[in-house]
């Protein structure tokens, strides 16, 4: 029995067709139906609140993950208009929530449609992909409510009370027949809310997870905007000047930039367009880089800081040790690149470089001692690069002279097609030995490593080339490092890190990941880096095949099934305790091994982890490793 008779006008037909399309191919609209797509459901709704904040009407957003994985998002903006549209006979609010891309409330020239990573598919997609959605609007002295099920209106907009407040509140239950899981990850949502708060100066964002007894919550509000963001990113790094340099300019393309130099040797520049994390960079990043290089070189020359013998400072010298966040708002952004996270608008390059040139040269003139400190670092970086180039030439000449440029310790495989080959980087000679015996030498190479490797966070390229622990890795991968790295030259389709599940293993794993992150980043971005997952336990019972368990939960489950009596449990401390065939069976045989692909999902998180682990400050490192030795199960950086 229909709840109410609904004469299907042209509009409604179009709405139904739109929702049908969304539910048929959800991945096209929300990116994926995995946990990532589920989180995007929240980001789409929150982005509408952020738009309202950017328009100047919303100062606070409250997000709650409620029992049953119901999401509630509320803002204190103007409230979506509730007047009935003369033509469509339905309210603006219902239009926003039922028509695809109807959310373009700021299209054109009146403001900016901020949008999540999926470029603002709008609230109607969230509605279509939710079992139910409830929208409550306060404005014009009243409280109005409407309800939907899988995008279809089941209760049209109705006035349900009075109110002297304004704002919009949306509650929804994502559709578990569409999403693989409804189990939101609080930390992921919290991280994104923190990022949005940094990007939207002064906006208060509260997030709460009240699904369990002990609730989790956080409140973010940063009057300092990107300045606070850089301070957050640098919190475990040693700064070389007190405050981040801050540049902000409104106009055709509003730009907000903050950056601060540290004693680290790596470059960390994060860029955003309309709050979208443009991981692949683009014209805003090019403009920033160009202005940095020009302004610092001009200043160095005009203040005789550069000797004649010093060639021009290269961009990479000037960016060594920089932590920067560049955020631009573009009305009609053109996104390019593999994951549509590269800004293509060519006018942005000039806009950003022009305003950075002006603001930065003024800043350096007014702060000569800061200018001097930064330039001293750039000049020494330039000299170290020169030394690295010479060292590289030496290595190349040396390796050109030597017949085998491959490291002695490498037990290579016979297959020549790199895409079919894999190399296990194994910690310790004993595990290396079992791996060599247990492997399939057709497609599996073994590179045993020993002891703690160089801490790459604190070493410049010249030391990397000459380091006797990293050089074998560089030569085995065969694609160079840093600016020279050429992904097409890799000798293996999979580079698998196999280390123990203990604290030392976590440390060596992280050192290797730091090395790949800093000097072979495309290897991670291209999905070539994996972590081997050795078993934690072996359960044996007379008359039964040994059972290997990879998690505590798995072990408990098997124990229940087998019954506890007569079962002996072996806890694997290290790879060395397994003989070659066990190592093959449990960790190397492609048929049943578990490999974790390392994804560069969130460079910010990765950088923070590496900085804690590699930075000068020992305490957070020791605490992090102890806390996270088990975290390798879901290493998804």
Shortest Å distance, C-beta 52 to ligand 28F: 4
Residues 189-208 touching ligand 28F, rule: CB under 6 A, are none
> Is the CB of 71 or the CB of 606 nearer to ligand 28F?
71
Alpha-carbon dihedral sign for residues 621, 623, 629, 633: negative
For the chain, the residue count is 637
Active-site residue identified among 83, 176, 486, 502: 502
502 is catalytic: yes
**Of 64, 75, 286, 636, the one binding ligand 28F by CB under 6 A:** 75
Tokens of 219: 């409140």
**Of 49, 196, 426, 523, the one binding ligand 28F by CB under 6 A:** 49
Report the first-to-last Cα separation within the chain, whole angstroms. 50
Q: Select from 163-171, 338-346, 387-395, 507-515 the region that touches ligand 28F (CB under 6 A).
A: 163-171
Active-site residue identified among 504, 554, 577, 616: 504
SS3 178: coil
162 is catalytic: no
Long-range own/partner contacts, residues 193-198 (CB < 8 A, 24 or more apart): 193/46, 193/63, 193/218, 193/220, 194/218, 194/220, 194/232, 195/229, 195/275, 195/277, 195/604, 196/46, 196/50, 196/275, 197/221, 197/222, 198/222, 198/225, 198/226, 198/228, 198/229, 198/232, 198/325
Element (H, E) at 297: helix 283-302
Q: What whole-number distance in Å separates Cα of residue 444 and Cα of residue 192?
A: 39
**Of 19, 50, 65, 80, the one binding ligand 28F by CB under 6 A:** 80
> What HEC string does 46-89 produce?
HHHHHHHHHCCCCCEEEEEEECCCEEEEEECCCCCCCCECCCCC
CB 542 within 8 Å of CB 566: yes
Q: DSSP labels for 329-398?
A: --SS--EESTTS-EE--THHHHHHHHHHHHHHHHHHHH-HHHHHHHHHHHHHHHHHHHHHHHHHHHHHHH
Shortest Å distance, C-beta 94 to ligand 28F: 10
Shortest Å distance, C-beta 99 to ligand 28F: 10
617 is catalytic: no
Active-site residue identified among 500, 585, 607, 608: 500
Site string for ligand 28F, 131-160 (x = CB under 6 A): ------------------------------
Shortest Å distance, C-beta 212 to ligand 28F: 24
Q: CA angle at residue 432 from 430 to 438, to 5 degrees?
A: 105
CB 563 within 8 Å of CB 573: no
Shortest Å distance, C-beta 63 to ligand 28F: 9
**Of 115, 136, 168, 434, the one binding ligand 28F by CB under 6 A:** 168
Shortest Å distance, C-beta 49 to ligand 28F: 5
> Is the CB of 77 or the CB of 480 nearer to ligand 28F?
77
| 105 touching ligand 28F, by CB under 6 A | yes
**Of 15, 31, 44, 52, the one binding ligand 28F by CB under 6 A:** 52
Active-site residue identified among 175, 195, 317, 427: 427
Q: CA angle at residue 482 from 481 to 483, to 5 degrees?
A: 115
Q: Where are the beta strands (DSSP E) in 369-504?
A: 422-427, 444-449, 494-498
| 428 touching ligand 28F, by CB under 6 A | no
Q: DSSP labels for 264-275?
A: -S--EEEEEETT
| 41 touching ligand 28F, by CB under 6 A | no
Shortest Å distance, C-beta 57 to ligand 28F: 7
| 44 touching ligand 28F, by CB under 6 A | no
**Of 82, 96, 322, 529, the one binding ligand 28F by CB under 6 A:** 96
Q: What whole-number distance in Å separates Cα of residue 104 and Cα of residue 204?
A: 24
**Of 22, 90, 92, 306, the one binding ligand 28F by CB under 6 A:** 92
Shortest Å distance, C-beta 267 to ligand 28F: 37
> Is the CB of 64 or the CB of 75 nearer to ligand 28F?
75
393 is catalytic: no
Tokens of 397: 């000449």
Shortest Å distance, C-beta 154 to ligand 28F: 19
Q: Select from 75-83, 405-413, 557-565, 593-601 the region that touches ligand 28F (CB under 6 A).
A: 75-83
| Beta strands 595-597 and 60-66, pairing class | unpaired
> Is the CB of 168 or the CB of 514 nearer to ligand 28F?
168
For 416, other C-beta atoms within 10 Å of its C-beta total 8
> What HEC string does 562-604 produce?
HCCCCEEEEECCCHHHCCHHHHHHHHHCCCCCCEEECCCCCHH
Q: Select from 166-174, 237-245, 474-482, 522-530 the region that touches ligand 28F (CB under 6 A).
A: 166-174
> Is the CB of 49 or the CB of 512 nearer to ligand 28F?
49
> Is the CB of 43 or the CB of 261 nearer to ligand 28F?
43
**Of 39, 40, 78, 237, the one binding ligand 28F by CB under 6 A:** 78
> Is the CB of 139 or the CB of 329 nearer to ligand 28F?
139
> Is the CB of 64 or the CB of 636 nearer to ligand 28F?
64
Tokens of 80: 């979506």
Alpha-carbon dihedral sign for residues 603, 605, 609, 611: positive
Tokens of 117: 């990573």
| 73 touching ligand 28F, by CB under 6 A | yes
Shortest Å distance, C-beta 139 to ligand 28F: 7
Alpha-carbon dihedral sign for residues 377, 380, 382, 385: negative
Residue 260 phi/psi, 5-degree rounding, is -155, 140
Tell me, by CB under 6 A, how many residues bind ligand 28F.
Answer: 18
Q: What whole-number distance in Å separates Cα of residue 636 and Cα of residue 175?
A: 25
| 81 touching ligand 28F, by CB under 6 A | yes
Residues 232-261 touching ligand 28F, rule: CB under 6 A, are none
**Of 19, 26, 40, 48, the one binding ligand 28F by CB under 6 A:** 48
Shortest Å distance, C-beta 627 to ligand 28F: 35
Residues lying near ligand 28F in the complex (CB under 6 A): 45, 48-49, 52, 73-75, 77-78, 80-81, 92, 96, 105, 123, 168-170
Tell me the catalytic residues.
427, 500, 502, 504
């Amino acid at each position: 029995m229909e709840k109410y008779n609904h004469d299907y006008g042209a509009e409604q037909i179009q709405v139904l067709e739109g929702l049908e399309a969304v539910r048929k191919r959800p991945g096209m609209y929300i990116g994926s139906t995995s946990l990532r797509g589920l989180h995007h459901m929240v980001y789409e709704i929150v982005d509408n609140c952020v738009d309202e904040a950017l328009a100047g009407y919303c100062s606070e957003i409250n997000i709650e993950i409620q029992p049953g994985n119901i999401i509630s998002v509320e803002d204190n903006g103007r409230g979506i208009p509730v007047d009935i549209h003369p033509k469509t006979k339905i309210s603006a609010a219902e239009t926003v929530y039922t028509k695809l891309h109807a959310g373009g409330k700021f299209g054109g020239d009146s403001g900016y449609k901020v949008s999540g990573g999926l470029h603002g598919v709008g609230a109607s997609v969230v509605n279509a992909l939710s079992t139910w959605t409830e929208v409550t609007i306060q404005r014009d002295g009243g409280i109005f409510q409407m309800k939907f099920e899988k995008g279809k209106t089941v209760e049209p907009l109705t006035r349900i009370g009075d109110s002297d407040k304004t704002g919009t509140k949306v509650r929804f239950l994502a559709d578990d027949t569409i999403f693989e899981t409804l189990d939101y990850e609080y930390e992921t949502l919290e991280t994104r809310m923190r990022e949005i708060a940094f990007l939207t100066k002064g906006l208060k964002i509260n997030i709460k997870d009240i699904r369990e007894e002990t609730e989790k919550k956080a409140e973010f509000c940063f009057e300092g905007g990107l300045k606070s963001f850089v301070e957050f990113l640098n919190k475990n790094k040693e700064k070389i000047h007190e405050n981040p340099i801050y540049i902000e300019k409104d106009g055709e393309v509003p730009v907000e930039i903050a950056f601060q130099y540290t004693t680290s040797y790596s470059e960390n520049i994060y860029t955003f367009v309309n709050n979208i994390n443009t991981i692949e960079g683009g014209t805003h990043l090019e403009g920033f880089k160009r202005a940095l290089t020009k302004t610092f070189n001009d200043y160095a020359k005009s203040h005789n800081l550069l000797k004649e013998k010093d060639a021009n400072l290269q961009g990479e010298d000037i960016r060594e040790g920089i932590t920067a966040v560049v955020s631009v708002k573009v009305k009609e952004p053109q996104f390019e690149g593999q994951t549509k996270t590269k800004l293509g608008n060519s006018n942005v390059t000039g806009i950003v470089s022009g305003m950075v040139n002006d603001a930065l040269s003024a800043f350096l003139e007014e702060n000569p001692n800061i200018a001097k400190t930064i330039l001293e670092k750039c000049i020494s970086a330039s000299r170290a690069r020169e030394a690295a180039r010479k060292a590289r030439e030496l290595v190349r000449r040396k390796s050109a002279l030597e017949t085998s440029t491959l490291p002695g310790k490498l037990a290579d495989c016979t297959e020549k097609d790199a895409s079919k080959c894999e190399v296990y980087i194994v910690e310790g000679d004993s595990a290396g030995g079992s791996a060599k015996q247990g492997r399939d030498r057709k497609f599996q190479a073994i590179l045993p490593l020993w002891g703690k490797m160089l801490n790459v966070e604190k070493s410049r390229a010249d030391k990397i080339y000459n380091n006797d622990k990293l050089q074998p890795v560089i030569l085995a991968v065969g694609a160079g490092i840093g600016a020279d790295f050429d992904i097409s030259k890799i000798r293996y389709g999979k580079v698998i890190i196999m280390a123990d599940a203990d604290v030392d293993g976590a440390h060596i794993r992280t050192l290797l990941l730091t090395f790949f992150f800093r000097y072979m980043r495309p290897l991670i971005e291209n999905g070539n880096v994996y972590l081997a997952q050795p078993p934690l336990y072996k359960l044996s019972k007379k008359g039964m095949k040994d059972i290997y368990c990879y998690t505590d939960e798995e072990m408990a489950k098997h124990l229940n099934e087998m019954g506890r009596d007569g079962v002996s449990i072996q806890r694997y401390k290290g790879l060395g305790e397994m003989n070659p065939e066990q190592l093959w069976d449990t960790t190397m045989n492609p048929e049943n091994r578990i490999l974790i692909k390392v994804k560069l999902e969130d460079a910010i998180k990765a950088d923070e982890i590496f900085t804690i682990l590699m930075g000068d400050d020992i305490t957070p490192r020791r605490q992090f490793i102890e806390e996270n030795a088990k975290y390798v199960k879901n290493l998804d950086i």
